[in-house]
Amino acid sequence: MIIVMKPNAKQEAIDHIVQIIRSNGLEVHLSAGQEVTIIGVIGNKTKLADKNLEIADGVERIVPVTESYKLANRKFHPDSSVIKVGNTTIGGDELAIMSGPCAIESQEQLMETAFAVKKAGAQILRGGAYKPRTSPYAFQGLEEEGLRYMKEAREATGLAVVCEVTSLHAIEAAVKYVDMLQIGARNMQNFYLLKEAGKTGLPVLLKRGLSATIDEWLNASEYIMAEGNPNVVLCERGIRTFETATRNTLDISAVPIIKERSHLPIIVDPSHASGIRRLVKPLAMSAVAAGADGLMIETHPNPTCALSDGPQSLTFPQFETLCEELRPIASLMSKHF
Residues that bind ligand PEP (CB under 6 A): 102, 128, 132, 164, 184-186, 207, 237, 272
Q: Is 269 in the site for Mn ion (CB under 5 A)?
A: no
**Residue among 81 and 299 whose Cβ is closer to Mn ion:** 299
**Residue among 13 and 210 whose Cβ is closer to Mn ion:** 210
**Residues in contact with 325: Cβ distance below 8 Å, sequence separation at least 6, in sequence order:** 281, 285
Q: Tell which one of 21, 96, 102, 212 touches Mn ion (CB under 5 A).
A: 102
The burial class, CB within 10 Å (0-12 / 13-18 / 19+), for 1 is middle
Taking the C-alpha atoms of residue 197 and residue 142, their distance in angstroms, rounded to an integer, is 21
Q: Would you state the torsion angle of the CA atoms of residues 316, 322, 324, 330, taken in this order, to the nearest 10 degrees?
A: -140
Least separation, in Å, of the C-beta of 241 and Mn ion? 19
Binding window for Mn ion (CB under 5 A); candidates: 50-58, 162-170, 302-310, 316-324 = 302-310
**Residue among 59 and 205 whose Cβ is closer to ligand PEP:** 205
Least separation, in Å, of the C-beta of 101 and Mn ion? 8
Taking the C-alpha atoms of residue 337 and residue 216, their distance in angstroms, rounded to an integer, is 31
Least separation, in Å, of the C-beta of 36 and ligand PEP? 46
The distance between the two most distant Cα atoms of the chain, rounded to a whole number of Å, is 76
**Residue among 37 and 312 whose Cβ is closer to ligand PEP:** 312
What do you get for the CA distance between the two ends of the chain, in Å?
A: 44
Listed residue (80, 86, 122) closest to 265, CA to CA: 80
**Residue among 237 and 263 whose Cβ is closer to ligand PEP:** 237
Picked from ligand PEP, Mn ion, none, the partner binding residue 164 (CB below 5 to 8 A depending on kind) is ligand PEP
Give the strand order in the sheet containing 2-5: 27-32, 37-42, 2-5, 59-63
Least separation, in Å, of the C-beta of 296 and Mn ion? 10
Q: Is 309 in the site for Mn ion (CB under 5 A)?
A: yes
**Residue among 9 and 314 whose Cβ is closer to ligand PEP:** 314
Least separation, in Å, of the C-beta of 102 and ligand PEP? 6
Taking the C-alpha atoms of residue 119 and residue 6, their distance in angstroms, rounded to an integer, is 66
Picked from Mn ion, ligand PEP, none, the partner binding residue 17 (CB below 5 to 8 A depending on kind) is none
Binding window for Mn ion (CB under 5 A); candidates: 59-67, 98-106, 115-123, 182-190 = 98-106
Ranked by CB distance to ligand PEP, the top (closest) residue is 184
Least separation, in Å, of the C-beta of 261 and ligand PEP? 21
Least separation, in Å, of the C-beta of 329 and ligand PEP? 23
Question: Where do the H-state alpha helices sit in the chain?
Answer: 11-23, 107-120, 144-157, 168-174, 191-200, 214-225, 254-261, 270-274, 277-289, 316-332
**Residue among 5 and 183 whose Cβ is closer to ligand PEP:** 183
Taking the C-alpha atoms of residue 203 and residue 224, their distance in angstroms, rounded to an integer, is 10
Q: Is 66 strand, coil or helix?
A: coil
* Interacting residue ranges for Mn ion, rule: CB under 5 A: 102, 309
